[in-house]
């Protein structure tokens, strides 16, 4: 039933809906994006949207879970077995790679992450915690092992690293898409050299 043809097909439809939704919402925002638009872009009937998700908000929340889940996964893979400072660089690279690959999702995240009073806010805070958690553990190890300055506030530094990577990378994609990723990585490292 997992690898069953039917559920694979369904998963495929959901995937297409995610992709359509993510692009539209990144461009226009959640409220300005209509369910009809999403269905149209995903080349799916409107009924299908509601067969697969219980509401527009639900689709969006699942989307957030899906996207941030992938990012967190990449973070985990990136740091695996590496010593703190190397791990930190690996994290930055992983974040850049991820953002390049899922540009629209990154844009969307940047737009929604620091908003307040929206229905999905709690979901987002939780997901944020998971992703930043991976960074925080690495920073903590660095501080413990003396590789990083002891006066570093782990929570602040981790959140800052996450945010900095996000803006710089999205800024790159939006305003200077021709630059090579290596350039961007270099610029980013130049900026955060003190902690990474």
Partner DNA sequence: GTTTTTGAACTGACCGGTCAGTCTAAAAAG
Partner DNA sequence: CTTTTTAGACTGACCGGTCAGTTCAAAAAC
C-alpha–C-alpha distance, residues 155 and 137, integer Å: 10
Say how many residues touch a second copy, by CB under 8 A: 46
Indicate whether 70 belongs to the interface with a second copy (CB under 8 A). Answer: no
Indicate whether 45 belongs to the interface with DNA (CB under 7 A). Answer: yes
* Shortest Å, Cβ 30 to DNA: 8
* Shortest Å, Cβ 43 to DNA: 7
Alpha helix ranges (H) inside 29-120:
35-41, 46-52, 56-79, 84-101, 103-112
* Shortest Å, Cβ 98 to a second copy: 16
Indicate whether 32 belongs to the interface with a second copy (CB under 8 A). Answer: yes
C-alpha–C-alpha distance, residues 27 and 34, integer Å: 12
Identify the three-state secondary structure at position 32: coil
Token pair 């692009």 is found at 23
Cβ atoms of residues 23 and 40 within 8 Å? no
Q: What does the binding site for a second copy look like in residue numbers (CB under 8 A)?
A: 26-32, 107, 110-112, 114-118, 152-153, 155-157, 159-161, 163-164, 166-168, 170-172, 174-176, 179, 183-184, 187-188, 190-195
Binding site for DNA (CB under 7 A): 4-7, 9-10, 12-13, 31, 33-36, 43-48, 50-52, 55-57
């Amino acid at each position: 039933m997992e690898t069953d043809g039917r559920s694979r097909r369904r998963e495929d439809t959901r995937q297409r809906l995610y992709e359509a939704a993510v692009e539209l919402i990144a461009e226009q925002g959640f409220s300005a994006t209509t369910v009809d638009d999403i269905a149209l872009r995903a080349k799916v009937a409107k009924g299908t949207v509601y067969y697969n998700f219980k509401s527009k908000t639900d689709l969006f929340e699942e989307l957030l879970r899906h996207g941030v889940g992938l990012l967190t996964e990449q973070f985990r893979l990136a740091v695996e077995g590496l010593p703190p400072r190397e791990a930190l660089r690996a994290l930055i690279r992983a974040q850049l790679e991820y953002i390049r690959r899922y540009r629209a999702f990154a844009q969307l995240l940047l737009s929604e992450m620091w908003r307040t009073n929206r229905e999905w806010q709690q979901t987002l805070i939780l997901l944020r915690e998971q992703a930043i958690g991976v960074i925080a553990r690495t920073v903590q190890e660095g501080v413990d092992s003396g590789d990083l300055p002891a006066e570093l506030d782990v929570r602040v530094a981790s959140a800052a690293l996450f945010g900095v990577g996000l803006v710089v990378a999205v800024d790159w994609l939006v305003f200077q898409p021709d630059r090579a990723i290596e350039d961007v990585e270099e610029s980013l490292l130049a900026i955060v050299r003190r902690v990474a």
